[in-house]
Amino acid sequence: MPELPEVEVILRGLKSLIGDKILYSIIRCYNLRWPVSSEIYKLKNNFILNIKRRARYLIIKLEYGNILIHLGMSGSFYLFDKTEKVIIKKHDHIDLIFSNKILRYNDPRRFGFWLWTKNLENNKFLQKLGPEPFSKKFNDNYLFQKSKFTRKNVKNWLMDNKLVVGIGNIYANEILFLSKIHPNRLTKSLNTQDCCNIVNNTKKILLESIKKGGTTIRNFSKINKKKGDFSKELKVYKRELEKCLFCHSYIKRILNNKRATFFCPKCQI
């Protein structure tokens, strides 16, 4: 479900829990992508010292370690008051219970995970990640250098977390459309201007999406169950056979690595 903007929107919602105490947890399903760590179902009176995001991971920092959460394709949160009557639904796998609130995690496909990690520095998931898209390290020079050492097409390359984190299928399509680059171009064919366009449009699109509360296609919602409004801003994703914003050609759909790719065959070369 979530690419970087969606996880960032969730993070900003969860920040209100910093300083609160987790009284205990309820695990209704232990088998997510990997088994939920035992430290997580044994939580008792733990203060949340911080909550942050790295790539598409959420990190809840407690006194003696961290909860590392990934939402996979279909994970979502709902934060609500204990006074609210909320019925437990199918796939409501985990609750964190606070004195006045409950944070509930739902994940139909169970590709997400909740793992305990004592130190973030040597965590195997966090170690192999590339730079954040909003960092200075993600710039045109960096991209241009990297483009020379792989034989991937540009779209699959942008979705590789070792190159840059957080760009998934929706935003890869949108970034290449604004950059006027064909998704099947080999990275070796990119020039410095192409790389500059990719960097600028990545920052622009991701930032704009965060402002609009992310993109809801089906599952994604903010922690108050409201949908993200960036769906309305999508120019090519899921817009097969609609007209290109710039040239009025028909948007085309193809597959890359079995994933849907949308582009304007005239503008993107």
Partner DNA sequence: CGAAAAACCTGGCAGC
Partner DNA sequence: TGCTGCCAGGTTTTTC
Q: Does 91 bind DNA (CB under 7 A)?
A: yes
- Please say if 133 is a catalytic residue: no
Neighbours of 234 (CB within 10 A): 19
Q: Which residues of 70-96 are buried (b: 16+ CB within 10 A; e: fewer)?
A: bbbebbbbbbeeeeeeeeeeebbbbbb
Closest approach of DNA to the CB of residue 18, in Å: 23
| Chain centroid to CA 214 | 10
Q: Does 90 bind DNA (CB under 7 A)?
A: yes
| Chain centroid to CA 213 | 12
- Please say if 174 is a catalytic residue: no
Looking at beta carbons only, is 256 or 268 nearer to DNA? 256
Listed ranges 79-87, 96-104, 161-169, 191-199: which one lies at the site for DNA (CB under 7 A): 161-169
- Catalytic annotation, pick one of 2, 5, 133, 183: 2
> Residues 53, 70, 222, 239: which binds DNA (CB under 7 A)?
70
Name the 3-class secondary structure at 257: coil
> Residues 46, 153, 201, 202: which binds DNA (CB under 7 A)?
153
Please, which of residues 3-22 interact with DNA by CB under 7 A?
Answer: 3, 6
Q: Is 89 left (phi over 0), alpha (psi -120 to 50) or beta?
A: beta
Closest approach of DNA to the CB of residue 92, in Å: 11
**How far is it, in rounded angstroms, from Cα 268 to Cα 264?**
6
Closest approach of DNA to the CB of residue 82, in Å: 26
> Residues 53, 56, 93, 146: which binds DNA (CB under 7 A)?
56
Closest approach of DNA to the CB of residue 126, in Å: 9
Please, which of residues 216-255 interact with DNA by CB under 7 A?
Answer: 216-220
Please, which of residues 97-116 interact with DNA by CB under 7 A?
Answer: 108-111
Q: Does 55 bind DNA (CB under 7 A)?
A: yes
**How far is it, in rounded angstroms, from Cα 16 to Cα 18?**
6
Number of residues located near DNA, criterion CB under 7 A: 40
**Residues in Cβ contact with 21 at an 8 Å cutoff, skipping those fewer than 6 apart:** 45, 46, 47, 48, 98, 99
Closest approach of DNA to the CB of residue 151, in Å: 4
Q: Which candidate, 222, 227, 230, places its Cα nearest to that of 14?
A: 222
Sign of the dihedral defined by the CA atoms of residues 78, 82, 88, 94, in that order: positive
Helix axes 192-211, 140-147, angle to 10 degrees: 120
Place of tokens 């994703």: 237
Q: Which residues bind DNA (CB under 7 A)?
A: 1-3, 6, 31, 33, 55-56, 70, 72-73, 90-91, 108-111, 125, 128, 150-153, 156, 159, 161, 168-170, 214-220, 257-260
Active-site annotation, residues: 2-3
